[in-house]
Amino acid sequence: MTESFFDSEIAIEKQGGEQKKSAPAEPAALAVSVDEFAALEERIRRAVELVKRERQARAAAEERASIAEAQLFAQSPVIEQLKSELNALRTERDHVRQRVERLLAQLDALEM
């Protein structure tokens, strides 16, 4: 970018006249544009870093999700077994409750 600045200065000096008068205004405009360019470059650099961090976070989240999914599938038979046991225990509890109710009913019948 520095070479083009010097090339434009040389071209302005060769042409002379009116363009020489506008030459002092151009370096100021160029300085502003260099500052703006530097600010833009910094913003782009920060955006690139942000995208990198977000990609890393996404990759980590996907890895955690795949590990959790694998653990879930690994535990699926255990979960099914526990559900089956829970249903069996509930059924057994209902049978015990019915037997106790019958016994209580028989005791009530004896007291009368």
The number of CA neighbours under 13 Å toward the Cβ of 103 is 6
Task: Dump pLDDT digits (tens) for 83-98.
Answer: 999 999 999 999 999 9
pLDDT at 22 over 60: no
pLDDT score at 2: 46
User: Domain spans of the chain?
Assistant: 2-111
12: Cβ–Cβ under 8 A, 6 or more apart, which residues?
A: 19, 20, 23, 26
Task: Dump pLDDT digits (tens) for 48-58.
Answer: 999 999 999 99
- Rounded CA-CA distance 67/70 in Å is 5
3-state secondary structure 34-82: HHHHHHHHHHHHHHHHHHHHHHHHHHHHHHHHHHHHHHHHHHHHHHHHH
Task: Dump pLDDT digits (tens) for 36-74.
Answer: 888 999 999 999 999 999 999 999 999 999 999 999 888
